[in-house]
């Protein structure tokens, strides 16, 4: 293994990609920059100083993905925007593989493929077709109808917690809200939420090939669960998104069975693994910035801009999902070769001093605030209106109803979840 760092991703185990792009020979090697254990709990607690160094010294930084695939970490705001919109970069590594190519893949990979036929892993025109099937359900107008239900759920969760005078803000508040809402929208039994959260947790948290292998039972369990759910709903349709998707699949050419399974998987996982961290990390950061917390308590109308700033500052999604180069091209003076993987570091772009004044300062009234927390370009977050609604109501309700809210353990004792994409704490014990 070269001096390059190893970054493996659960969502995309090692795959044969087009022509063996260049083992990283001859690439610029910013040797003096240390390579931390990306994805480790320690790194996740505060990756920002490290990214600041990359922005200053090596804005397109070489690394090995999956231990052998040449790739790049891109950290400056303008370059991250370029990556998210670049015509030479694509997402689709899997759907068009021939049987022979599939046979050459590592043996364990066939377990992951059924879940990877979703819009986040596809390029146009498939991406456009898949996104078009669900985008209406997530428009601000339709999402606004959920306001009452989101308010009711946060009230119930806070009522239960207030009787105990303490809670784990993740397990008792930030997590049950988005899981329940996305399950209800899809038509997935809410009682199963612990089960699918456990599976998805295994998939988003792993940081090594070994953990990828260990995640296989979760992949199998999740896939089997979604298939059964589809069959049940096919037999007895409801007034939910799953039924609408099944009808699209039955109508013929718009959605294959594999794409349907994969769509349900993506919406379930993306619909809660992210928002939980906006709510929990958002409240954590407010508790660490009492002046800003007071500002929001006194001026509830600030909540819209507060949520944007908390998204920028906490980065629930640290890295955009991997892009792969379809051809050679130059990015910020660095030659990217066909087949290279490129990771846009959203958490770095959101703290780029070239884009934001005082980027490490929390300012709930920040204006302008063109953060990249929801990405950019065609894969811009489908669920952004829902995440904003849930985040605003959950944060607002907690700080208004719990005036004595405080951390029950020192912040340095908090344990962060491992994994490359998602950023958030495992538990957040609070008292009030």
208: Cβ contacts below 8 Å, ≥ 6 apart: 8
The answer to whether 119 contacts ligand HEM (rule: CB under 6 A) is yes
Question: Is residue 371 a contact residue for ligand HEM (CB under 6 A)?
Answer: no
At its nearest, how many Å lie between ligand HEM and the CB of residue 36?
22
Rounded to whole angstroms, the Cα distance separating 34 from 19 reads: 30
Told to check if 183 binds ligand HEM by CB under 6 A, we report: no
- Binder among 317, 336, 364, 422 for ligand HEM (CB under 6 A): 317
Report in angstroms how near the CB of residue 403 gets to ligand HEM at its nearest: 25
Question: Considering the complex, what minimum distance in angstroms separates the CB of residue 108 from ligand HEM?
Answer: 23
Q: Does 270 bind ligand HEM (CB under 6 A)?
A: yes
Smallest CA-to-CA distance from 173 within 402, 350, 2, 357 is with: 402
Provide DSSP, 234-297.
Answer: HHS--SSHHHHHHHHHHTSTT--HHHHHHHHHHHHHHHHHTHHHHHHHHHHHHHH-HHHHHHHH
The 73-112 contact track toward ligand HEM, x by CB under 6 A, reads -----------x----------------------------
Considering the complex, state which of residue 270 and residue 331 has its C-beta at the smaller distance from ligand HEM: 270
Put residue 165 in one of left, alpha, beta given phi > 0 → left and psi -120 to 50 → alpha: left
Q: Please, which residue, 70 or 271, has the CB nearer to ligand HEM? A: 271
Please pick, from the candidates 229, 278, 287, 392, the single residue that binds ligand HEM as defined by CB under 6 A. 278
Which listed range, 31-39, 211-219, 370-378, 397-405, lies at the site for ligand HEM (CB under 6 A)? Answer: 370-378
- Residue 130 exposure: Cα atoms within 13 Å on the Cβ side: 26
Cβ burial, residue 171 (10 Å; 0-12/13-18/19+)? middle
Which of 118/212 has CB closer to ligand HEM?
A: 118
Distance CA 79, CA 217 (A): 38
- Residue 422's CB is within 10 A of a number of other CB atoms, namely 23
Residue 324 binds to ligand HEM (criterion: CB under 6 A): no
Please report, for residues 7, 159, 282, the alpha-carbon distance to residue 397 in angstroms, rounded to integers and kept in the order given: 38, 11, 13
Measured CA distances, 198 to 157, 169, 194, 203, 372 (Å): 20, 18, 6, 9, 28
Q: Kindly tell me which residue out of 347, 386, 389, 398 binds ligand HEM, with binding defined by CB under 6 A.
A: 386
Please calculate the CA angle 21-26-30 and round it to the nearest 5 degrees: 110
Is residue 375 part of the contact set for ligand HEM (CB under 6 A)? yes
- Choose the stretch contacting ligand HEM; rule: CB under 6 A; options: 161-169, 204-212, 316-324, 361-369: 316-324
By beta-carbon proximity to ligand HEM, the closer residue of 81 and 218 is 81
68-76, 139-147, 285-293, 373-381 -> range binding ligand HEM (CB under 6 A): 373-381
Cβ contacts of 240 within 8 Å, gap of 6 or more: 184, 185, 186, 187, 233
Which of 373, 398, 420, 422 touches ligand HEM by CB under 6 A? 373
| Binding pattern for the stretch 328-347 against ligand HEM, x by CB under 6 A and - elsewhere | ------------------x-
Whether 287 contacts 141, CB under 8 Å? no
Minimum gap (Å) between residue 275 Cβ and ligand HEM: 4
Q: Does 120 bind ligand HEM (CB under 6 A)?
A: yes
Nearer to ligand HEM, 24 or 277 (CB): 277
Q: Does 374 bind ligand HEM (CB under 6 A)?
A: yes
* CB 194, min distance to ligand HEM, A: 19
Site string (122-161) toward ligand HEM, x via CB under 6 A: ---------x------------------------------
Nearer to ligand HEM, 70 or 385 (CB): 385
Q: Long-range pairs for 414-418 at CB < 8 Å and ≥24 separation?
A: 414/45, 414/284, 415/41, 416/41, 416/42, 416/44, 416/45, 417/41, 417/44, 417/204, 417/205, 418/39, 418/40, 418/41, 418/44, 418/205, 418/206, 418/207
Q: Tell me: does residue 320 bind ligand HEM (CB under 6 A).
A: yes
Task: Tell whether residue 62 is a contact of ligand HEM (CB under 6 A).
Answer: no
The residue among 184, 143, 150 whose CA lies nearest residue 394 is 150
**379 contributes a contact to ligand HEM by CB under 6 A:** yes
Quote the CA–CA distance of 208 and 6 in Å, as a whole number.
Answer: 9
Write out the residues near ligand HEM by the rule CB under 6 A.
84, 119-120, 131, 266-267, 270-271, 274-275, 278, 316-317, 320-321, 346, 373-375, 379, 381-383, 386-387
């Amino acid at each position: 293994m070269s001096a390059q760092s190893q970054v493996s991703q659960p969502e995309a185990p090692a795959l044969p990609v087009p022509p063996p792009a260049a083992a990283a020979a001859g690439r610029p090697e910013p040797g003096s920059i240390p390579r931390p254990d990306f994805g480790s709990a320690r790194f996740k607690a505060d990756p920002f100083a490290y990214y600041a160094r990359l922005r200053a010294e090596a804005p397109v930084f070489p690394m090995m993905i999956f231990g052998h695939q040449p790739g790049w970490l891109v950290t400056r705001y303008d370059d991250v925007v370029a990556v998210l919109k670049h015509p030479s970069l694509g997402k689709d590594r899997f759907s068009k593989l021939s049987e022979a190519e599939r046979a050459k893949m590592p043996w364990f990979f066939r377990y992951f493929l059924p879940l990877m036929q979703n819009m986040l892993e596809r390029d146009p025109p498939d991406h456009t077709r898949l996104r078009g099937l669900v985008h209406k359900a997530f428009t601000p107008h339709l999402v606004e109808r959920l306001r009452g239900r989101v308010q009711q759920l946060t009230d119930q969760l806070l009522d239960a917690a207030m009787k105990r005078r303490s809670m784990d803000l993740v397990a008792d508040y930030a997590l049950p809200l988005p899981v329940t809402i996305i399950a209800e929208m899809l038509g997935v039994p809410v009682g199963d939420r612990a089960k699918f959260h456990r599976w998805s947790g295994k998939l988003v948290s792993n940081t090594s090939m070994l953990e990828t292998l260990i995640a296989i039972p979760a992949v199998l369990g999740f896939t089997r669960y979604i298939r059964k759910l589809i069959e049940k709903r096919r037999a007895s349709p409801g007034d939910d998104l799953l039924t609408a998707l099944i009808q699209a699949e039955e109508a013929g050419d718009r959605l294959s069975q594999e794409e349907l399974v994969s769509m349900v998987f993506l919406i379930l996982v993306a619909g809660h693994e992210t928002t939980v961290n906006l709510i929990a990390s958002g409240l954590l950061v407010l508790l660490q910035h009492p002046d800003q917390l007071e500002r929001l308590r006194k001026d509830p109308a600030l909540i819209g801009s507060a949520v944007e700033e908390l998204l920028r500052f906490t980065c629930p999604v640290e890295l955009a999902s991997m892009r792969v180069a379809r051809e050679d091209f130059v990015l910020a003076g660095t030659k990217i070769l066909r087949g290279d993987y490129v990771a846009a570091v959203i958490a770095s772009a959101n703290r780029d001093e070239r884009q934001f004044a005082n980027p490490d300062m929390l300012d709930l009234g920040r204006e302008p605030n063109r953060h990249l927390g929801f990405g950019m370009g065609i894969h811009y977050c489908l669920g952004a209106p829902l995440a904003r609604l849930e985040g605003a109501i959950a944060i607002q309700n907690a700080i208004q109803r719990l005036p004595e809210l405080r951390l029950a353990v020192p912040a340095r004792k908090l344990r962060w979840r491992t994994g490359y994409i998602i950023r958030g704490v495992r538990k957040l014990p609070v008292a009030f």
